[in-house]
Amino acid sequence: MTATQDSAAREDVRTYPFGPSDRLELHPLYAYLREHEPLCRVRLPYGEEAWLVTRYEDIKRVLGDARISRAVGLARDRPRLTPELPRATIIDMDPPEHSRLRRLVAKAFTTRRVEQLRPRARQITGSLLTGMAEAGPPADLVESLALPMPVMVICELLGVPYADRASFQVWTGGLMSTTALTPEQRAGHVVDLSSYLAGLVRQRRREPTDDLLGALVLARDEGDRLTEQEMISLAMTLLAGGHETTANQIAISGYLLLTHPDQLALLRSRPDPIPGAAEELMRFVRLAATAGTPRYATVDVELTGGTVRAGDAVLVFVPAANRDPRVFPDPDRLDVTRVPAAHLALGHGAHHCLGAGLARMELQVALGSLLERFPGLRLAVDKDELRWKAGTLVRGPVAVPVAW
C-alpha cells in the first residue's frame, strides 16, 4: 500500500503545527513520528495538505533531490501558516533560475572571502564587548552582541547603512513573521523594505560602489543578468537572512552554554574548542519554529514509510533530523566535544545556505570572543524568566540578561 493510500485508509491527517513552541524543546510528537510514522500527512491552517518528513536520511534526500521542486508551489495553494501566500523569493526557485541568481552573489561568500572577513568580524565583536564591559552588568546579550554583530557584518558586505538598522530590522520582521503581525502589517513592512532597497539601488546608479549591492546593480544594468525585481528580492533575502538567523543562533548558543555549566567547563578546558562546539550548537539549537517552505514532488518518490506521489507537497522539519539517533548518538544531549557530523542546520543540496560559511565564522568569533572577554559570565536572571519570540519563522530569546 502506498503512503497516499495508507493515509486515505486511516484518515489520520494531523493538524500542524502540533502545538505552540516551548522555548527550545521539540514537540514530543516529532520523535514519535520519526520512529513510527516518518511520512505523516498534515494539514496546516491554510492551503492544501502535505507530507511531513522527520527522519534525517529522508529529509536529506528531499533537500537534495532535483525531482522535488520549490518552484512548482508558486502556482499552488501552498500549505502555510498565514492566510496570504508568502512573497516569492530566490528560495522559491529551482535551477537553473536559482543557480543563475546564486552565482551572482556566491563570490562574496566563498571560504576565502569569509576568512578575509574574520579579522573585521573580530574587530566588530571586540568593540561591542568593550561597550558592554564599560556599561557594566547587567547587560542584554541580544542587544549587546548577538544582534548588532551580524547586522554590522552583513551591512558592510551588502552595502546597507548600519545607521538605518532600527528601520530595516522592523521591516525584515515582516519577512519572518507568521502570526506575530497582521497580514496588513506584514505586507506593509515588505513594501517599506522593498522601497528602501530600491532607494539604495538608485543611489548606486548615481554613485557606484564595490559592495555586494553595487555588484548586483552592475549585473542588472550592464550584464542584464537579473531583473530589477530579482535584484531587490535578492537584496531583501540577503539582508534578512544575513542577520536574523545568525543573531538568534548566537543568542541561543550563549544561553545554552550558560545553562549547561558542564559543557561550558569542557569548552574552557580544551585547546581550540570553538569550531567543533559551534557545529554542535548549530545541530542542537532549534531555530525553525515549524517545517519550512513546501516542496512538490514532480514524479513519484519513495521515502521511508511509502511513496510521495507526483504533485504532492512535502514539508521537512530539520530540527527533527538533527536529533535523529540513527545519525547522532544520544541526540538530545548537548555535547560540545561531539565529533561533528553532517547536521542539516544550514540545509543541503541546491538550496544549501549561501551564507553558511559566514554564519559559521560569525558564531565562532562571537562565542570565542565572549568567553575570552568574560570568563565569569553568567545569567543575570533565572532561565525560566526569559521570554521567547513567538509567531515568527525563527525561534530565539527576546533578551538574555547576563552579568559577570
Q: Give the pLDDT mean for 156-184.
A: 91
Nine-digit cell string for 17: 503545527
In a 13 Å sphere around the CA of 382, the CA atoms on its Cβ side amount to 2
Residue 5 reports pLDDT greater than 90? no
Torsions phi, psi of 2, nearest 5? -75, 165
Lowest pLDDT segment from 11-25, 64-78, 131-145, 235-249 = 11-25
Q: Give the pLDDT mean for 46-58.
A: 97
Does 262 or 224 have the greater pLDDT score?
A: 262
Q: Give the chain's largest Cα–Cα span.
A: 66
Does 196 or 242 have the greater pLDDT score?
A: 196
DSSP string of 127-191? HHHHHHHHH-SSEEHIIIIITHHHHHHHHHHHT--GGGHHHHHHHHHHHHBSSSS-HHHHHHHHH
Q: Indicate the pLDDT class of residue 12, thresholds 50, 70 and 90.
A: confident
Lowest pLDDT segment from 2-6, 277-281, 300-304 = 2-6
Give the pLDDT score at 219.
80
Distance separating alpha carbons of residues 320 and 29, to the nearest angstrom: 10
Give the pLDDT score at 367.
96
Q: Give the pLDDT mean for 210-222.
A: 84
In a 13 Å sphere around the CA of 22, the CA atoms on its Cβ side amount to 7
Give the pLDDT score at 6.
44
Note the residue count of the chain.
404
Average pLDDT, the chain: 91
Give the pLDDT score at 7.
39
Give the pLDDT score at 8.
39
What are 283-309's pLDDT values in tens digits? 999 999 999 899 999 999 999 999 999
Q: Give the pLDDT mean for 181-206.
A: 93
Nine-digit cell string for 113: 572571502
Lowest pLDDT segment from 40-54, 89-103, 319-333, 369-383 = 89-103
* Alpha-carbon distance values, 371 to 111, 133, 232, 404 (Å): 25, 13, 38, 11
Give the pLDDT score at 222.
65
Torsions phi, psi of 278, nearest 5? -60, -40
Residue 364 reports pLDDT greater than 70? yes
Distance separating alpha carbons of residues 353 and 51, to the nearest angstrom: 23
What are 16-50's pLDDT values in tens digits? 999 877 788 899 999 999 999 999 999 999 999 99
Q: Give the pLDDT mean for 126-140.
A: 97
Domains of the chain, first to last = 3-403 (1.10.630.10)
Give the pLDDT score at 220.
76
Give the pLDDT score at 133.
97
Give the pLDDT score at 345.
96
pTM of the model: 0.93
